[in-house]
Amino acid sequence: MERLLNFIYEYRAFFTFLLLELSCAWLVIENNQYQSTKYFNSSNRLAANILGFSQGVREYFSLRTINEELSYENAALRTQLEKKNQQIQGITDSARLNQFEYVSAKVMSNSTNLYKNFITINKGAADGITPGMAAISDAGAVGKVKSVSEHYAVLISLLNVDEQVSCVIKRTNQFGSVRWDGLNMRYSNLLFIPRHAEPMVGDSVVTSGYNAVFPEGVLVGIIRAVNLKEETPFWDIRIELSQDFGRLAFVEIVKSRLKSEKDSLERITIGDPK
């Protein structure tokens, strides 16, 4: 305390000068309309900037919570939309109307630079997730559940050379399979489109729904290049994936209530695949 008092006493002239300057400035502002207006406009502008900055900081740190809430809301809306589409098609069977349920999950890790890439999410067996379920996002197809623990699951990404997805060209309804070649995370190949088909650049490629894992019509990508060699029975088709896996933050796991019934019937009728 003594040091503080000594400091004030030593610089008493400066502090007196500063106090007088502030008093003069205040008197000028109080007794002159122009200076008063400029002062209050400037102070209000400064206060607004400070408040805007602090609000921006608060909004930035709340983005994670907002994104999670939006992801859960999207999953609920997607479930309702799927049911509505079934009703529009004239389907009245309650089992088919409630065939798909969507569970929102946050991406915990996501590789994109390997030949076999995987995605880890923060939902597992406790949330009803089981191997074989499909994963989609707002942009389109993402992959399939490979393994689960109590609170986590690992997905096989579409950026995996071992993963194939049954798809159709939306314009022509010609079906084939999408499989990644391990080269570029933004592009994949559409396989087994026969010579007589007429694929075009710009065509949408969507899930076929044949395997009861993915709902029918989920966007997978857009055709960017087509080529047909004389000696080959199929087109060479390059598609741009709808989902940019480098920016994947949330996914929705698709629970298909009819998949086990379909798989069981096929096993009984056809037998286990060799």
pLDDT at residue 160 in the model? 95
Top-confidence residue, 238 or 30: 238
Q: β-pairing, 236-241 with 187-191?
A: antiparallel
> Residues 176, 179, 181, 187: is their CA dihedral positive or negative?
positive
Average pLDDT in the 162-181 region?
94
pLDDT score of 87 more than 80: no
pLDDT at residue 215 in the model? 83
Give the start-to-end residue ranges of the domains of the chain.
Answer: 2-61, 63-257
Q: Which pair of tokens denotes residue 172?
A: 């022509």
pLDDT score of 185 more than 70: yes
Q: What's the longest Cα–Cα distance across the chain?
A: 101
pLDDT at residue 36 in the model? 59
Per-residue pLDDT reduced to its tens digit, 132-151: 899 999 899 999 999 999 99
pLDDT at residue 257 in the model? 72
| 173 φψ region: left (φ > 0), alpha (ψ -120 to 50), beta (else) | left
pLDDT score of 203 more than 60: yes
Q: In whole angstroms, give the CA distance from residue 141 to residue 215.
A: 10
Q: How far lies 240's CA from each of 54, 61, 186, 203, 215, in Å?
A: 40, 33, 6, 11, 20
pLDDT score of 250 more than 70: yes
Which among 158, 156, 157 has a CA at the least distance from the CA of 177? 158
Residues 6+ apart with CB under 8 A from 109: 119, 120
pLDDT score of 171 more than 90: yes
Q: How far lies 243's CA from each of 217, 226, 250, in Å?
A: 15, 20, 11
Calculate the average pLDDT of the chain. Answer: 81
- Tell me which H or E stretch contains 119: strand 116-121
Per-residue pLDDT reduced to its tens digit, 88-136: 555 555 555 556 788 889 899 999 999 999 999 999 999 999 998 999 9
Q: In whole angstroms, give the CA distance from residue 258 to residue 260.
A: 6
Among residues of the chain, what percentage have pLDDT more than 90? 46
Top-confidence residue, 10 or 39: 10
Q: What is the CATH number of domain 63-257?
A: 2.40.10.340
Average pLDDT in the 79-86 region?
58
pLDDT score of 243 more than 70: yes
Which one-letter DSSP state was computed for residue 126? G
Average pLDDT in the 199-217 region?
87
